[in-house]
Structure 1
Amino acid sequence: MTEVNTVLLYCRSGFEKECAAEITTRCAEVGIYGYPQFENQQGYVLFRCHESDGAITAMRKLRFRSLIFARQWIACAPCLENLSSSDRISPIAILVAELPPTSELMVEVADTTEGRELHGFARKFSSALAQALRREGLMQPRKQRADWRLHVFVVDGRTLWVGVAALGNSSSWPMGVLRLKFPQQAPSRSTLKLDEAWHYFIPQRRRDELLRGGMSAVDLGAAPGGWTWQLVNQHMFVTAVDNGPMNEDLMESGQVEHRREDAFTFVPSKPVDWMVCDVVDKPARVTELMLSWALNGWCRNAIFNLKLPMKQRFDEVERCLGYLRAELDAADIDYRLQARHLYHDREEITCWLSLTPEG
């Protein structure tokens, strides 16, 4: 039997170290041991499990959404190297025959300059490969749902990784990336971070409940209004807190009150449905601010960014989120906390803290 002992994880280029530290830590917590391999700026990490089926076991024991820095993960068979350009499909078919049944296929590349140059090849190869595998009975018909999705990760034209990801425990987006179009009316490109956060964190079944018109919101560190624009676009009434100027068109909406105050000392007159925060400050200080809002019951939901230091970024994330969870647990507060290094994030992660009964 082919060993499936390598977890391949996609990540933002430059965050391989954080992705590697995280998967190593999370796997060890559930008794899966191994070691990571990566090169800086390559856009992916390999985690080599000591057990022969360790990658499949990891997918069964870990929740993909517990990972912050991984955009996607795949349980892989041994790497295919030195492939002939005249027949790449036959070696893949041999591996697929020993993997769990699948009915979907994604052929993907790293989100790097080198990877993007392979997009055309990946797109064409995906169609040819899917047809060949279905013809040989190695992939189920499209309409027949399987528990796993087949992935082929293209390193270059002669080097491929073949593996699977559990449909209910992986990203459904190609390359693990949600592509959003920048709205030209928005005051800044940071607007895409909040838009992506809502798509990622809030289940579709709860969007109408949690993003209703007429809700109240506070935007801490609002200027010039990228995140406020998203709140207004959801027909919410917003208190924008920032000493800097807000976008004039946004202010003319009639849904925004601009308070020229410090985000760290502002107190709402009454609890609000949403608080969002994109303040540029030390992550520990922002964490304390979020804890204050939660302990005082000033909001029902919060989305906030933690700007990461240049070094020990994973350790800082662990400290901040661990501290926040410990303090909320000590206060006996029901909550749900998720975090993600979003596609539109840079040197930061985005978090959702829900204090509503269903979380």
Structure 2
Amino acid sequence: MPLHTTPALLLYCRPGFENDCAKEVSAACADLGITGYAKAKPDTGWLLFVPHGDEALAVLRAELRFADLVFARQLVFCSAYVDDLPADDRVPALVEAVKTLGSRCGSVCLETADTNEAKELSGFCRRFQPHLERALIGEHVLHPKDKRAPRLNVFFIDSSQAWVGLTDLANSSPWPMGIPRLRISRDAPSRSAAKLAEALLGLLTEQERNQRLVPGMRAADLGAAPGGWSWQLAQRGLRVIAIDNGNVSPALLKGEMVEHVRADGFHWRPRGSLDWMVCDIVDQPSRIALLAADWIAHGRCRDTIFNLKLPMKKRYDELERCRAIIDKRLREADVPYVLRIKHLYHDREEVTAYLRRAG
């Protein structure tokens, strides 16, 4: 039962995006003055970043922001790895590994990668978790009543290997494996409704949702057909103009919340200013980025959520290009802004961005 004390960042991502996630976290660490190296295998759904220097992990835990990482589903600060766990008694070795973290924890999350192979461990994790929790409470490491203490994450590569680390509640995804479990009504015109629901949960705070998604507000949905995003906004009480030359679900138009306008989303303009614009048009990401920035720059809307369909071989590079396009356009217009981007669970080759005027 070898215990390896190796400080490292453990990041989960969508399988196939390990290289993009590695590039991004390496750049983010370099911006903080921390060097190191990434260890990733294709299609595994996770990777490590091993920083150089004894104090590097502490610096990263204080300065690296999960919200700034696009491709990471979760950010775990690890200092222990255990292998050769005995099938009949894994608890003692894992308890010793947890003790090396030097911190109490308020909850425990046993996780695997988001792959078909790793998911076979999910049943084991559910059965094993109560046993580990009892042992950690007995060792005065786990304090379930402490709602401010970090979360203990035990990430099983397989049933005999695990990384052990901590996630800070204010600097991590609140969902196990970084994956939200959303239930969308069968009345939704398309599955894309779940994507916008996840975007609103993941890219806006609860306070922002309460303040910026108020019933009676007005929104435009560019490239709306068949209407999943329009439906999601209407469910929140917003009045939506669905812009698309294609057909929108007839059921969506039965009420008074959604109006369908047959027009090109790139050329349509509202009469006056709206509260929101959302856009799921499939086009060059640079063109979508400029479209969204133009809407904000001209005051056509206050908030916008849009998708950027990234090219498979240069996802990270194209993402940085889109950031630069938005920054240039809004600097030229002298508009301060807030931009958040995330590769959502319901995204595939695209990422989803939230952009608004600052202040």
Which bracket does the TM-score occupy, shorter chain normalised? over 0.9
The aligned counterpart of 1:59 is 61
User: Cα deviations across residues 268-304 of structure 1 (Å, max 9, x unaligned)?
Assistant: 1111001000000010011111121111110010000
Q: CA deviation at 1:78?
A: 3.5
Distance 2:194 2:11 in 1: 24
| Equivalent residue letter for 1:207 | R
- Within the candidate set 87, 93, 96, 1:94 is matched to 96
1:345 aligns with 2:338: no
The aligned counterpart of 1:292 is 294
1:154 aligns with 2:156: yes
1:222-241 equivalent positions in 2, closer than 5 A:
222-241=224-243
Asked whether the 8 Å contact 1:300–1:356 carries over to 2, the reply is no
RMSD over aligned Cα atoms:
1.5
Three-state SS of the structure 1 residue aligned to 2:34 is: coil
Distance 2:4 2:335 in 1: 47
| Equivalent residue letter for 1:109 | T
- Within the candidate set 88, 93, 109, 2:112 is matched to 109
1:256-271 equivalent positions in 2, closer than 5 A:
256-271=258-273
- Within the candidate set 325, 328, 333, 1:326 is matched to 328
Q: CA deviation at 1:132?
A: 0.4
Distance 2:147 2:291 in 1: 45
- Within the candidate set 112, 136, 149, 1:133 is matched to 136
Three-state SS of the structure 2 residue aligned to 1:338 is: strand
Asked whether the 8 Å contact 1:4–1:54 carries over to 2, the reply is no
Asked whether the 8 Å contact 1:6–1:55 carries over to 2, the reply is yes
1:190 aligns with 2:192: yes
Q: Would you say how many aligned residue pairs link Structure 1 and Structure 2?
A: 356
Asked whether the 8 Å contact 2:6–2:78 carries over to 1, the reply is yes
Three-state SS of the structure 1 residue aligned to 2:275 is: strand
Q: CA deviation at 1:260?
A: 1.1
1:169-248 equivalent positions in 2, closer than 5 A:
169-248=171-250
Asked whether the 8 Å contact 1:109–1:119 carries over to 2, the reply is yes
1:310 aligns with 2:312: yes
Three-state SS of the structure 2 residue aligned to 1:312 is: helix
Asked whether the 8 Å contact 1:273–1:299 carries over to 2, the reply is yes
Distance 2:147 2:4 in 1: 24
Q: CA deviation at 1:4?
A: 4.8
1:83 aligns with 2:59: no
Distance 2:292 2:148 in 1: 41
* Unaligned stretches of 5+ residues in structure 2: none
Q: CA deviation at 1:261?
A: 1.0
Asked whether the 8 Å contact 1:3–1:53 carries over to 2, the reply is no
Distance 1:296 1:217 in 2: 16
Q: Which is worse superposed, 8-17 or 327-336?
A: 327-336
Three-state SS of the structure 1 residue aligned to 2:11 is: strand
Runs of 4+ in 1 over 3 A off after TM superposition: 1-4
Asked whether the 8 Å contact 2:79–2:100 carries over to 1, the reply is no
| Equivalent residue letter for 1:14 | G
Change (3 A) 1:3 1:56: farther
Q: CA deviation at 1:356?
A: 5.5
Asked whether the 8 Å contact 1:308–1:348 carries over to 2, the reply is yes
The aligned counterpart of 1:24 is 26
| Equivalent residue letter for 1:219 | D
Q: CA deviation at 1:208?
A: 2.6
Q: Which is worse superposed, 19-28 or 43-52?
A: 43-52
1:144 aligns with 2:142: no
The aligned counterpart of 1:250 is 252
| Equivalent residue letter for 1:45 | L
User: Cα deviations across residues 155-201 of structure 1 (Å, max 9, x unaligned)?
Assistant: 11111111111222111111111110131001110111111111112
Asked whether the 8 Å contact 2:111–2:177 carries over to 1, the reply is yes
| Equivalent residue letter for 2:316 | F
Asked whether the 8 Å contact 1:33–1:49 carries over to 2, the reply is yes
Q: CA deviation at 1:2?
A: 7.5
Asked whether the 8 Å contact 2:219–2:241 carries over to 1, the reply is yes
Asked whether the 8 Å contact 2:83–2:161 carries over to 1, the reply is yes
Q: Which is worse superposed, 339-348 or 97-106?
A: 97-106
The aligned counterpart of 1:42 is 44
Asked whether the 8 Å contact 1:152–1:160 carries over to 2, the reply is yes
